[in-house]
């Protein structure tokens, strides 16, 4: 009996180990050559695995919960957080067309970067694709924000609505408060370099009225017929695809309806 037990143990120990059972599972990142939370678009490895967006790097002790404010009070509320941080701050502002993003940005800082400057050349892009985040150069935007956030000035693209294309570059000097504003300012790529995220909310009828008034004032050389088509068939449905995720990422939700403060 003893000999049979010893023989059985020798057989069991001589069999190969089950590697799947003994090897610890490695978390699946988007790329094995990139750290956790870094998308394969950064490392250009060709890996197609995607991961959840990283949270924006803001100090939770300063902004414990998302806060809803009316437009008239938004600048003061946001700048109070900037002062509490006591260091250079990048603020990201998103919202649908004519929500009031650029107006709020100008109230916060003279150093404003618009995501419009990272749009594609319209002649090379189908109309329904022009407002997609994948169509904009958000990797370049992230790099430029990283430079400004570190304290360096940088050259950013210069894009014009008159020609619907990039026409050169412009130098931007950093500041204590840097603001990036635009439809996809809170996309995962630029959001890595944003300290305070802001979502400006306004009802569509109010925004449409503002958009028409803006075009009539000569803000863009667009006929109202083209604006109508672009607003309702391109800009609105495209932003709607991302609005919920951008709102969830925001530290401030700013209400900018006609009752509180129309865009000026």
Q: What is the mean pLDDT of the chain?
A: 80
Higher model confidence: residue 180 or residue 225?
180
DSSP H or E run through 167? strand 165-172
Strands 89-94, 177-181: pairing kind: parallel
Provide mean pLDDT across the span 142-168. Answer: 95
Residue 261: its pLDDT value, please? Answer: 53
CATH number belonging to domain 67-255 = 3.40.50.300
Task: Look at residue 65 in the predicted model and tell me its pLDDT.
Answer: 67
232 versus 19: the higher-pLDDT residue is: 232
**pTM of the entire structure?**
0.74
Cα separation, 188 vs 197, whole angstroms = 12
Radius of gyration over every alpha carbon of the chain, rounded to an integer in angstroms: 25
In this structure, of 42-56, 61-75, 107-121, 188-202, the range with the lowest mean pLDDT score is 42-56
Domain boundaries, the chain: 2-43, 67-255
CA dihedral over 166, 101, 142, 83, signed as positive or negative: positive
Query: 130 or 189: whose pLDDT is higher?
Result: 189
Of the chain, the end-to-end C-alpha distance in Å amounts to: 94
């Amino acid at each position: 009996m003893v000999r049979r037990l010893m023989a059985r143990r020798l057989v069991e120990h001589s069999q190969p180990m089950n590697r799947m059972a003994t090897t610890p599972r490695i978390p699946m990142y988007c790329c094995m050559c990139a750290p956790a939370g870094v998308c394969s678009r950064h490392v250009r490895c060709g890996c197609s695995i995607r991961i959840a967006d990283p949270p924006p790097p803001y100090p939770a002790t300063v902004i414990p919960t998302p806060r809803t404010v009316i437009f008239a009070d938004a600048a003061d509320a946001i700048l109070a957080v900037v002062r509490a941080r006591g260091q250079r701050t990048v603020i990201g502002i998103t919202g649908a067309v004519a929500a009031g993003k650029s107006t709020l940005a100008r109230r916060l800082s003279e150093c404003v970067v618009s995501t419009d400057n990272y749009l594609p050349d319209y002649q090379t892009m189908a109309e329904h694709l022009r407002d997609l985040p994948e169509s904009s150069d958000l990797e370049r935007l992230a790099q430029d924000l990283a430079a400004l956030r570190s304290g360096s000035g940088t050259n950013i693209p210069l894009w014009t609505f008159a020609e619907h294309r990039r026409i050169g570059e412009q130098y931007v000097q950093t500041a204590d408060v840097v603001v990036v504003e635009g439809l996809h300012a809170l996309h995962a790529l630029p959001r890595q370099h944003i300290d305070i995220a802001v979502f400006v909310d306004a009802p569509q009828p109010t925004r449409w009225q503002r958009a028409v008034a803006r075009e009539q004032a000569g803000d863009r050389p667009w006929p109202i017929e083209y604006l109508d088509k672009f607003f309702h068939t391109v800009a609105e449905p495209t932003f709607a695809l991302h609005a919920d995720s951008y709102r969830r990422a925001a530290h401030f939700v700013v209400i900018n309806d006609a009752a509180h403060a129309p865009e000026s």
